[in-house]
Amino acid sequence: MATATKTFKNFIGGEWVDAASGETFETTSPANGDVLGVFPRSGAEDVDRAVEAAKAAYEDWRLVPAPHRGEILFRFGRLLADHKDELAELMAREMGKVLPEAAGDVQEAIDMSFYMGGEGRRLFGHTTPSELRDKFNMSVRQPIGVIGVITPWNFPIAIPSWKIAPALVCGNTIVFKPATDTPLLGERFVELLVEAGVPAGVINIVHGGGGAVGDRLVRHPDVPVITLTGSRETGIEVMRNAAENLKHIHLELGGKNAIIVLDDADLDLAVEGIVWSAFGTSGQRCTAASRVIVQRGVYGELQGRLVGAAEQLRLGPGWEQGVDVGPVINKRALEKIHSYTEIGKDEGAKLLTGGEAAGGDGLGDGNFYRPTIFGDVDPQMRVAQEEIFGPTTALIPVRDVDEAIRVSNGIEYGLSSSIFTRDVNTAFRAMRDLEAGITYINAGTIGAEVHLPFGGTKNTGNGHREAGQAALDVFTEWKSIYVDYSGKLQKAQIDTAE
């Protein structure tokens, strides 16, 4: 654990260095305001230096055999496992997750590192028959160059691994800008990569804000790929600012995910799934269930059970045993969440429980908000349409499965979806008709696994995916290769082979 007075640096070209400006900022705990460390407040000059280092390192790193690059990721995965408890404790303090969730965040990075390490011996291309005699055709993946990695605070170990592990195994180099709310976790991530054997210049970290560091990274002409997880508004700005250089842009943006509960559902299972999906990580997940669409036959019973379960959840610092819901990330988030409570009440939704910041009882000055449930919500209300990113969910009554699917799809996002039903025919219909990148049957909206593509439709992103083999398409270019061993010039689409 870092002490409150420890000062950290950027990591550029294999060296730990201060920001050129000499300016700094603090990272604090959302649970009690404790200062956890001091970090460089970097700017364009620091980004330029990091990109220069990454560009120089790329020339050798791309030639390192992919299996050897994968072996470094295997070592990194083992180091994450060795430091799992330490990282989970740090995450509880810097980001606010309760310890079991924080350990799960680290486990995702372990899983991703091992999975992508294996890609070092695959990175499959394709072979196809040629239309001409004595000719061989194949396609292969090739690295692209310097990757700009911009990550959020809510999964401060997992999400960097989703981006950095596949980028590295494909032969790219990295300039990493972690969120200013969780720089210490980003720092530890890079320290362990270096310990695993990533060469100098291949991984660089530059701390600082999106306006100074992120924007320069997005606009830099020597960074051909930007991968960002953030808000829809930020994603639009990134695409606009990167357009002049025709960069490859990978965006994972917002969600307004729904759980459908039909009359034939297992209500015990549904309530458990809703509580976990709506209030896990204090609702600060892009896959959080901020809508629950309930068929009228079970609406009253589900509402009663759900309110009772929510009111049993214990709030507190994430590092304490027995805590179910930790703090939200900062005061701005707390204010935004509460503003949506007021919006919901003004719109006529029925506040069933929560709806206020929590203090006292050991919560002190932390950023805690009580799990909040609205009932009798109209699908067009703002609390049913806009991403709140807090421990708030809205119960929406519907007549039947047709209306449930229409309501679930009736938003601008399309990340995660869920349905609880015992009818296999209905389940398969939902798999087909729900407009989302992820659909769960008889489970909540969270719980993605690293070997399947992760991402969404509509305003959730721009069509690319993280995780699974689909992630490789973000960080490689396809090259088609034709080998003619006929000894003569053959003209495809013109010659007629006998």
The tens digit of pLDDT for each residue in 437-448 reads 999 999 999 999
State the virtual CA torsion across 379, 380, 386, 387 in degrees, nearest 10: 0
Pick from 128, 162, 178, 221: nearest CA to 474? 162
Residue 289: alpha-carbon gap to chain centroid: 15
Asked whether residue 322 is assigned to any structural domain, the reply reads yes
Among 101, 286, 387, 466, which one carries the catalytic annotation?
286
CATH number, position 306: 3.40.309.10
Asked whether residue 306 is assigned to any structural domain, the reply reads yes
Please write the tens of the pLDDT for every residue from 19-47: 999 999 999 999 999 999 999 999 999 99
407 shares a domain with 282: yes
Residue 292 has pLDDT above 70, yes or no: yes
Cα separation of 419 and 105, whole Å?
25
Residue 411 has pLDDT above 50, yes or no: yes
Cα separation of 215 and 206, whole Å?
12
177 shares a domain with 51: yes
Cα separation of 72 and 60, whole Å?
15
In this structure, the number of other CB atoms found within 10 A of the CB of residue 392 comes to 26
C-beta separation of 22 from 42 below 8 A: no
383 shares a domain with 283: yes
pLDDT given for residue 359 in this prediction: 81
CATH number, position 137: 3.40.605.10
DSSP-derived secondary structure for 121-186? T----EEE--SSTTEEEEEEEEE-SEEEEE--SSSTTHHHHHHHHHHHHTT-EEEEE--TTSHHHH
233 shares a domain with 219: yes
C-beta separation of 350 from 376 below 8 A: yes
- To the nearest whole percent, how much of the chain has pLDDT over 70? 98
Q: Among this protein's residues, is 252 annotated catalytic?
A: yes
Task: Give me the mean pLDDT over the 69-77 stretch.
Answer: 98
| DSSP category for residue 399 | S
472 shares a domain with 427: no
Cα separation of 63 and 265, whole Å?
54
283 shares a domain with 235: no
418 shares a domain with 293: yes
| DSSP category for residue 489 | -
116 shares a domain with 79: yes
262 shares a domain with 248: no
Give the orientation angle of helix 401-409 with respect to helix 424-433, to 10 degrees: 20
What does pLDDT average to over the chain? 96
Task: Give me the mean pLDDT over the 168-191 stretch.
Answer: 98
168 shares a domain with 282: no
Please write the tens of the pLDDT for every residue from 322-379: 999 999 999 999 999 999 999 999 999 999 999 999 987 778 889 999 999 999 999 9
Q: Structure pTM?
A: 0.95
Q: Among this protein's residues, is 335 annotated catalytic?
A: no
Total domains in the chain come to 2
| DSSP category for residue 461 | B
Asked whether residue 160 is assigned to any structural domain, the reply reads yes
C-beta separation of 168 from 73 below 8 A: yes
244 shares a domain with 98: yes
Asked whether residue 2 is assigned to any structural domain, the reply reads no
Residue-range definition of the domain harbouring residue 428: 257-441
Alpha helices in 172-283 (DSSP H): 183-196, 215-219, 232-242, 267-279
| DSSP category for residue 422 | S
C-beta separation of 106 from 113 below 8 A: no
Among 252, 301, 435, 466, which one carries the catalytic annotation?
252
